[in-house]
Chain A
């Protein structure tokens, strides 16, 4: 047997090799007639390209959405006098008389009309304009009550303050008079 057959099938074939070729030839890979329909390059389903204009547009849309959300979620506007808000933290240190005066003046000058419309009635009103008016009335009413409470608290504090200072002053006066009386009775010679 020439080894050329084994190398490039040019020499004389060996019957054993031929038999082996036939036996294994059944298991040979068969090239399919149609190639698999796979794309050569994969493409994304949605390609988003952000250029300058679209970025501006997106920004405007986001701003509009945020504004709309804020308008819909914020509580109904209620006018509160300066310094009347309950969330104000207590101040420390010496008292600012001017600021306190201004608050009192603002409180005095604000017209308050107490219209009592219960909130359950307001919610039953169908007309939006009337409903808004009813809501305003409720807020004005609440403000009036709050201001009345403020006035009562202030008046009470004032009364207590005057009482306390007069008691102190009276005691100091009594002591002063006694000291002066003693000095008069025992004149320095």
Chain B
């Protein structure tokens, strides 16, 4: 009877651990969005920026960030809890090159449990719409997605891991960094 109890306890612990690991993995997978659907826009876009940095590549970048430079020091601090950064920017020569359905493929993923829209701005003046979604993990932001749509530009940002939204917002401008030119040539 005693042996059976130990066995039951051991098996229960094992099942619990497996469930925990599966849950953690599935949550990490949920935070990382599938942006492959947007790749078809590359053909129509005049300029494309595609940044895919998983955890391993982020670690590669860390030693090359100079702590003495304020901008790089801020980035270094910011990315300490990150597990992945994925950015896609498509710039088009004329309007109507991408459809609502293209954006909807991303929005649909953000309707899954855990994600919540924290801000959204719709501008009729210049037609720029920005939506910010976050996923909370243990009281902190464990993931973030930004969808910015303009008549001639579509930007989707997916950040996986713990992120300080305030520091991220302050990153451009605070240190006198000029605004990034999205029309940079594709690497």
Chain A interface (Cβ within 8 Å of chain B)? Answer: 90-95, 97, 100-101, 103-104, 107, 150-151, 153-155, 157-158, 160-176, 178-179
Q: Report B50-68 residues with CB < 8 Å from chain A CB.
A: 51, 53, 55-65
Q: Which B residues contact A (CB, under 8 angstroms)?
A: 49, 51, 53, 55-65, 71-72, 75-76, 78-83, 85-87, 89, 119, 121, 123, 128, 130, 132, 146, 148, 155, 157, 159, 161-162, 165, 168-173, 177, 179-180, 182, 184, 187
| Given A169-B171, A171-B146, A172-B168, A92:B83 Cβ within 8 A | yes
Q: What would 13 A/B residue contacts be, using CB atoms closer than 8 Å?
A: A91-B55, A95-B79, A100-B59, A103-B63, A154-B60, A161-B53, A161-B79, A163-B87, A165-B75, A167-B89, A170-B179, A172-B165, A174-B148
- Set of chain B residues within 8 Å of A164, measured between Cβ atoms: 51, 53, 85-87, 157
CA distance A153 to B180 in the complex (A): 22
Select which of B49, B76, B80 is within 8 A of A167 by beta carbon: B49
B132 A160 Cβ-Cβ under 8 A: no
A to B contact number (C-beta, < 8 Å)? 139
Q: A162-B75, A165-B78, A168-B168 are in contact. Are A100 and B180 (CB under 8 A)?
A: no
Q: Which residue of B lies closest to A106 (CB)?
A: B63
Question: Inside 8 A of B72's CB, which chain A residues have their CB?
Answer: 162
